[in-house]
C-alpha cells in the first residue's frame, strides 16, 4: 500500500495512484515526489523492497540515482571553481602536470567544461572494470590516466557524445587539486551544506537485513547477493550515489534556487554558469535540456540507471517545480512507467 506525506507531515490525497501504476507494471517498488524550491509538495512510495519478501518500501528509504548524480558532481566542481582551485577551462594536463604518463592523448588538453557537457570526444563505457583495478586504491588517478590514454572519438567541442568516462576524469581532477577523495568532497562540499544525511555510494541494502530497496532485473528478479551490485568504485562521479527522496529533493531545490541567483552554496556568477546552455545544445552541465510547453519553456532532466535501479528527474524552472521518480528495477518498460508517473504529476498540477 502507498505511503504518502505532505511537506508539513499531513496526509493528503495523492496526485497520482502509485499503487495502480506499480501493480500494472509489476515493479517491486516505486517512489515519486513533487517539489518547489522551498518545500516538498508531495512524496510517496509503493511496493516492496525485494520481491518474495514482505518488507515494504518506506518514505525514508534510499534509492540509487545513477547518472542523475552527474548534476551533483557538477556542483562539487562548481564549488571548487568558486574557491579558485579550478576553472571551467582547466585541463587534465594543467591539473596533473608531470604525473601524466606519456601515453595520454589529446584528451589531456580538453577543458573541464567539455568533459561535463559531453563534448570532449571521450569514449563511453570502455572497460570500466579495468579502470577500477588501475585506480589501485583511494586515488582515481590510475583510472583517469587510462581514460586519457584512449584515442578521442572526435575533436574537443566538435560534437556531443555522452560519456561516463568524462565524468570520471572530472572527479579525478577534483581529487588532484584538493588531495581528498571524491566521496569525501561530495560530503563536505555538497551533501553536508544542504543537510543531506542519507547519501552514500553503491548498493543501498544489506541482503540479510532487507533494510533498503534491493536491486532487480526483469522480470523482477532480485539480484543475487554477491559482488558490489553496482558499477566499480571509480565510477562514482558518473553515477553511484544513493539517497532518500527527501534528500534528493534538497539538492534539486538548490538547483532551482541557483537559477534565480539564490544559491546557498555558490556565488551568483558561478551558479549562473550551471544554467547556461549553448545555442542548440541538448546537454548542459550535468543536465539534459528539452523545450516543453508544460514547463513554460526550458526543462532540465536526467535519467539514471546502473542496470538494476532507475531514477528520473524533470525540473521546470519557470514554474518552480520539479518531479522525481525512483524504482529498484530497470528495463525499457521501467522508463515508460517513470514517464507515466511524471506525466500524471504534471497533469495533476500539484
Sheet of 62-64, strand order = 62-64, 241-244, 200-201
What DSSP designation does 56 have?
A: B
Give me the mean pLDDT over the 16-24 stretch. Answer: 95
- Quick check: 171 pLDDT over 60? yes
> pLDDT tens, 252-283?
999 999 999 999 999 999 999 999 998 889 99
Between 186 and 54, the higher pLDDT residue: 186
- Quick check: 141 pLDDT over 90? no
The answer for residues whose C-beta is within 8 angstroms of residue 60's C-beta and 6 or more apart is: 198, 244, 246
What local confidence, expressed as pLDDT, does residue 127 receive? Answer: 53
All cell numbers assigned to 62 = 534510499
Q: Which domains does the chain have, with CATH numbers?
A: 3-68+198-348 (3.40.710.10), 71-184 (3.40.710.10)
**With bands split at pLDDT 50, 70 and 90, how would you rate the model's confidence at 350?**
low
Angle (CA) 86-91-92 rounded to 5° is: 100
Please tell me the distance from the alpha carbon of residue 225 to that of residue 241, in angstroms, as a whole number: 19
What local confidence, expressed as pLDDT, does residue 8 receive? Answer: 38
Between 8 and 328, the higher pLDDT residue: 328
What local confidence, expressed as pLDDT, does residue 3 receive? Answer: 55
Q: Are 203 and 259 in contact (CB under 8 A)?
A: no
Give me the mean pLDDT over the 283-297 stretch. Answer: 96
> pLDDT tens, 207-263?
677 899 999 998 889 999 877 799 888 999 999 999 999 999 999 999 999 999 999
What local confidence, expressed as pLDDT, does residue 47 receive? Answer: 97
Q: What count of other Cβ atoms lies within 10 Å of the Cβ of residue 333?
A: 14
Among the listed residues 284, 220, 211, 274, the one whose alpha carbon sits nearest the alpha carbon of residue 244: 211
> pLDDT tens, 330-349?
988 999 999 999 999 999 97
What local confidence, expressed as pLDDT, does residue 55 receive? Answer: 93
**With bands split at pLDDT 50, 70 and 90, how would you rate the model's confidence at 206?**
confident
SS3 132: helix
> pLDDT tens, 57-99?
999 999 999 999 999 999 999 999 999 999 999 999 999 999 9
What local confidence, expressed as pLDDT, does residue 13 receive? Answer: 65
- What is the reported pTM? 0.94
What local confidence, expressed as pLDDT, does residue 118 receive? Answer: 96
What local confidence, expressed as pLDDT, does residue 138 receive? Answer: 46
What local confidence, expressed as pLDDT, does residue 233 receive? Answer: 87
Q: What count of other Cβ atoms lies within 10 Å of the Cβ of residue 264?
A: 12
What local confidence, expressed as pLDDT, does residue 135 receive? Answer: 45
Please tell me the distance from the alpha carbon of residue 37 to that of residue 31, in angstroms, as a whole number: 20
Q: Are 164 and 66 in contact (CB under 8 A)?
A: no
> pLDDT tens, 119-133?
999 987 655 555 554
Give me the mean pLDDT over the 39-62 stretch. Answer: 96
Amino acid at each position: 500500500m502507498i505511503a504518502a506525506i505532505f511537506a508539513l507531515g499531513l496526509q493528503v490525497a495523492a496526485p497520482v495512484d502509485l499503487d495502480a501504476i506499480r501493480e500494472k507494471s509489476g515493479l517491486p517498488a516505486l517512489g515519486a515526489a513533487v517539489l518547489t524550491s522551498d518545500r516538498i509538495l508531495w512524496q510517496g512510495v509503493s511496493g516492496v523492497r525485494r520481491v518474495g519478501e514482505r518488507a515494504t518500501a518506506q518514505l525514508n528509504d534510499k534509492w540509487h540515482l545513477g547518472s542523475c548524480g552527474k548534476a551533483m558532481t557538477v556542483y562539487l566542481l562548481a564549488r571548487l571553481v568558486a574557491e579558485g582551485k579550478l576553472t571551467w577551462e582547466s585541463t587534465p594536463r594543467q591539473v596533473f602536470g608531470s604525473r601524466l604518463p606519456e601515453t595520454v592523448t589529446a584528451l589531456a588538453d580538453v577543458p573541464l567544461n567539455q568533459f561535463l557537457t559531453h563534448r570532449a570526444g571521450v569514449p563511453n563505457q570502455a572497460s570500466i572494470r579495468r579502470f577500477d583495478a588501475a585506480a589501485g586504491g583511494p586515488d582515481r588517478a590510475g583510472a583517469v590516466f587510462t581514460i586519457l590514454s584512449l584515442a578521442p572519438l572526435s575533436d574537443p567541442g566538435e560534437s556531443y557524445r555522452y560519456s561516463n568516462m568524462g565524468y570520471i576524469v572530472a572527479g579525478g581532477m577534483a581529487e588532484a587539486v584538493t588531495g581528498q577523495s571524491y566521496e569525501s568532497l561530495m560530503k563536505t562540499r555538497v551533501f553536508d551544506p544542504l543537510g543531506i544525511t542519507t547519501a552514500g555510494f553503491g548498493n543501498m541494502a544489506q541482503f540479510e537485513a532487507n533494510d533498503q530497496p534491493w536491486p532487480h532485473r526483469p522480470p523482477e528478479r532480485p539480484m543475487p547477493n554477491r559482488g558490489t551490485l553496482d558499477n566499480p568504485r571509480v565510477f562514482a562521479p558518473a553515477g553511484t550515489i544513493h539517497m532518500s527522496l527527501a534528500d534528493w529533493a534538497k539538492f534539486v531545490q538548490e538547483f532551482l534556487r541557483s537559477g534565480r541567483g539564490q544559491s546557498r552554496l555558490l556565488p551568483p556568477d558561478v551558479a549562473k554558469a550551471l544554467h547556461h546552455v549553448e545555442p542548440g545544445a541538448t546537454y548542459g552541465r550535468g543536465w539534459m535540456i528539452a523545450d516543453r510547453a508544460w514547463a513554460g519553456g526550458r526543462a532540465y532532466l536526467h535519467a539514471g540507471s546502473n542496470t538494476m535501479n532507475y531514477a528520473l528527474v524533470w525540473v521546470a524552472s519557470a514554474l518552480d517545480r520539479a518531479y522525481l521518480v525512483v524504482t529498484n528495477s530497470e528495463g525499457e518498460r521501467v522508463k515508460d512507467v517513470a514517464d507515466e508517473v511524471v506525466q500524471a504529476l504534471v497533469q495533476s498540477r500539484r
